[in-house]
């Protein structure tokens, strides 16, 4: 990986950056133009070398077929975009994406599951789930299309607000409970709307 000259590294960086920015890999001419080459062949030679060194791949005679090969390549999984919602309105429309406040992009491997298109993320407020080590400020990913099982953490609509609770059954009846001794109440689950099951959590810092 360190067998690259400075120039070659610049080229690789440009290709990556261009892909991030525009969603497509640059053509040889675009590369040449960026570096001020008066001839395309400069770029061609660089790409040839980078391909020999194994950090680039391409398919012959196909437009924009370059691919940056990273050592992590073989581990990479599909990524998904999950809307980060500020709050969940009572209505259960499909199109809550409109009200997104942000977007969480993560690979399905780290997420643990492939979420359905209606999955969403929430920021945790309050410490009612601290007993399950879910802290204020954490992002939780909620999957509505999952049947809650005993012990699962679920998001429920309580007093018009989304709240996290643990799902459990007692005497065959479902209840929700907070994971904090300060809130010992058990809430009968059928009195409210369960919005989904927590499938993952992301905490920064």
Site membership for DNA, residue 16 (CB under 7 A): no
Active site residues: 128, 165
Note whether 84 and 47 are within 8 A (CB). Answer: no
Q: How far apart are CA 48 and CA 44, in angstroms?
A: 6
Pick from 95, 147, 159, 191 the residue near a copy of itself by CB under 8 A. 95
Q: How far apart are CA 125 and CA 86, in angstroms?
A: 11
H or E element that contains 103: strand 100-107
Tokens of 179: 């994971």
The count of residues interacting with DNA (CB under 7 A) is 30
Site membership for DNA, residue 41 (CB under 7 A): yes
Would you say 5 or 70 has its CB closer to a copy of itself?
A: 70
> Please, what is the minimum distance in Å from the beta carbon of residue 161 to a copy of itself?
22
Site for a copy of itself in 52-71 (CB under 8 A): 63-65, 67, 70-71
Site membership for DNA, residue 8 (CB under 7 A): yes
What is the contact mask toward a copy of itself in residues 107 to 126, using x (rule: CB under 8 A)? x-xxxxx-------------
Would you say 159 or 205 has its CB closer to a copy of itself?
A: 205
Site membership for DNA, residue 61 (CB under 7 A): yes
Site membership for a copy of itself, residue 4 (CB under 8 A): no
Tokens of 111: 């997420």
DSSP-derived secondary structure letter, 20: H
Q: Collect all residues with Cβ–Cβ distance below 8 Å to 91 and sequence separation of at least 6.
A: none
Q: How far apart are CA 84 and CA 59, in angstroms?
A: 38
> Please, what is the minimum distance in Å from the beta carbon of residue 24 to DNA?
8
What is the contact mask toward a copy of itself in residues 124 to 163, using x (rule: CB under 8 A)? ------x--xxx---x------------------------
H or E element that contains 166: strand 161-170
Site membership for a copy of itself, residue 20 (CB under 8 A): yes
**For residue 80, which of 113, 127, 50, 41 has the smallest C-alpha distance?**
113
Would you give the distance in Å from CA 48 to the centre of its chain?
A: 34
Q: Which residues bind DNA (CB under 7 A)?
A: 5-8, 27-30, 32, 35-42, 44-46, 49, 58-66
């Amino acid at each position: 990986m360190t067998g690259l000259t400075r120039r070659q590294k610049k080229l690789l960086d440009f290709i990556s950056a261009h892909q991030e920015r525009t969603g497509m890999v640059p053509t040889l001419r675009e590369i040449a133009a960026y570096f001020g080459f008066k001839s395309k062949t400069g770029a061609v030679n660089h790409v040839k070398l980078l391909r020999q060194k194994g950090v680039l791949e391409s398919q012959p005679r196909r437009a924009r077929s370059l691919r940056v090969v990273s050592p992590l390549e073989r581990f990479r999984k599909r990524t998904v975009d999950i809307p980060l919602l500020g709050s969940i309105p009572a209505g259960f429309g499909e199109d809550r994406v409109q009200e997104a406040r942000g977007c969480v992009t993560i690979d399905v491997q780290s997420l643990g599951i492939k979420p359905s298109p209606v999955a969403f993320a929430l920021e945790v407020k309050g410490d009612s789930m601290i007993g399950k080590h879910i802290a204020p400020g954490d992002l939780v990913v909620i999957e509505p299309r999952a049947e809650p099982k005993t012990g699962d953490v679920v998001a429920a609509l309580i007093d018009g607000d989304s709240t996290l609770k643990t799902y459990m059954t007692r005497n065959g009846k479902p209840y929700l409970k907070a994971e904090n001794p300060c809130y010992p109440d058990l809430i009968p689950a059928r009195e409210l709307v369960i919005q989904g099951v927590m499938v993952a959590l992301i905490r920064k810092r």
